[in-house]
Amino acid sequence: MLSTPRVIIIGGGASGTLLACHLLREPLPDLRITLIEQRDEPGPGVAFSAPSSNHLLNVAAANMGAFADEPQHFWHWLVRTGRLAGTEDAEPFFFAPRSAYGSYLRSLIEPHLPGTGRPGRLSIVQGTCIDIAERPLGVEVRLDDGTSVPGHVAVLATGHEEPRQDGCHVSPWVSPSVSGIDPEATVLILGTGLTMVDYVLSLLDAGHRGPIVAMSRRGLLPQVHRRVAPMTIDAADIPFGTDISYFMHWLRETIAWAEGRGEDWRSVIDGLRPHTQRIWQSFSEGSKRRFMAHARAWWDVHRHRTPPEVDTRLRAALATGRVQLFAGKMVASEERGSGARVRFRRRGERREETLDVDAIVSCTGIVTNPRETKNPLLRSLFASGHARIDPLAIGLDVATDGALIADDGRASTRLFAIGPVTRAAFWEIVAVPDIRTQCSRLARRILHDTATHNAATRPL
């Protein structure tokens, strides 16, 4: 039996680290946190490990703080640690390198590790979680090396699903040189969003000379950030619970009204940010499906934008033909030697075309069928019935507080999830400003339960 309350966080990337930071922020000396991470060190995760200084955050530094009540915490850290030295005209509307944010996340948890002069409230376990068993007074997290970690609550913070990596299929989160892509190779990138933009810059920075082809159903590129103030939008003016077509009509009308007053459409989109999760949750399942089929691509390119300097580089590469952009869909691919022959159709056409490529990089984002996951923990939870896939088949089915919903429809009191794996319930839950709010809410629940229950004898 555990004598002190213990929270186990599975996944030490941004989501898991942010939750740990919120829990450690409170003066509860008895609370212990175990962070289980596959990588060598927790903090950066996949998203913030890019070594190149040309890989920039897609949110301004002023809004990337780890804590919702201190949105400029990251900016102040940049100033305090001298990270802005040599950066001309740096100010809060500055898009910092992703690697700097990874260092920031590490700096937040390092003081709480054992051997740092403070009580070791945080412990790190390197390994892969393969299963979670619920016990009468807690949970037991099992690792691939045969060991297990006991706790009172377990939180899944496993982030994005890794895309296919075999044959000529390579990961967008591994540098081209590490993936072994020849500088003269023909590279096909599936998806034309922010991940594609980052990978194109990686190729260009590595001196890639071969053709780069980016393809998505609509061929839309992310819009560029401009410095605008979010519009104040009253919840009473938002048509919650309406059909998606009516909502999109309302959004277009609101943007037209704002632009008629000389305002930027970005101010409307940014003004909706505090309301987007509630909007999503108010839609019927049918409206959510129609949004994903017809409006998601348009929403994404306006909501998730690129820094101006990144946009300039991408547009130049397109203008010179270094990068080709197709609106179309890959029909099939057949491996040929070390590459593949891809069959695709351009948008609006029935005729198939072929393209011989040396590498295929999937930057399409959402996993279409979570049951195909390679994550052993998720597979185990699905098999045991402790978790289930949401009706849209884009993530885990969770309650509004992040509690996993089991096959029988009951919400767990011990198993929770945060970050991108909860996208089905919240939709906008991939950016730090949204994840930190989610972490704050879950941390408050856990801390409340810790303060009001005897963790050694009663469930949290």
458 is a domain residue: no
Contacts of 237 (CB under 8 A, 6+ apart): none
pLDDT at 455: 45
> Using CA atoms, how far apart are residues 68 and 442, in angstroms rounded to an integer?
13
Same domain assignment for residues 268 and 283: yes
Cα 107 to Cα 68: distance, rounded to the nearest angstrom: 18
- Residue by residue, DSSP assigns 409-439 as SPEEEEEEE-GGGGHHHHS--SSHHHHHHHH
- Two tokens at 329? 């869909």
CATH number, domain with residue 312: 3.50.50.60
Residue 80 lies in a domain: yes
pLDDT (0 to 100) of residue 171 = 87
Chosen domain end from 333, 362, 391: 362
Tokens of 362: 């999937």
Asked if 288 and 430 sit in the same domain, the reply is: no
- How many structural domains is the chain composed of? 3
Per-residue model confidence as pLDDT tens for the chain (460 residues): 566 889 999 999 999 999 999 999 987 778 899 999 998 888 888 888 877 788 899 999 999 999 989 999 999 999 999 888 666 567 888 999 999 999 999 999 998 887 755 667 899 999 999 999 988 889 999 999 999 999 999 999 998 877 767 778 888 888 887 788 999 999 999 999 999 999 999 999 999 999 999 999 999 999 999 999 999 999 999 999 999 999 999 999 999 999 999 999 999 999 999 999 999 999 999 999 999 999 999 999 999 999 999 999 999 999 999 999 999 999 999 988 889 999 999 999 999 999 999 999 999 876 557 778 889 999 999 999 999 999 999 999 999 999 999 999 999 999 999 999 999 999 999 999 999 999 999 999 988 877 665 444 444 4
Q: Mapping DSSP to helix (H, G, I), strand (E, B) and coil, where does residue 278 land?
A: helix
What's the CA gap between 89 and 5, in Å, rounded? Answer: 47
Tell me phi and psi for residue 211, to 5 degrees.
-65, 140
Q: What is the pLDDT of residue 154?
A: 97
- Domain extent for 324: 169-223+306-362
The CA angle 89-264-291, to the nearest 5 degrees, is 115
pTM of the predicted model, to two decimals?
0.92
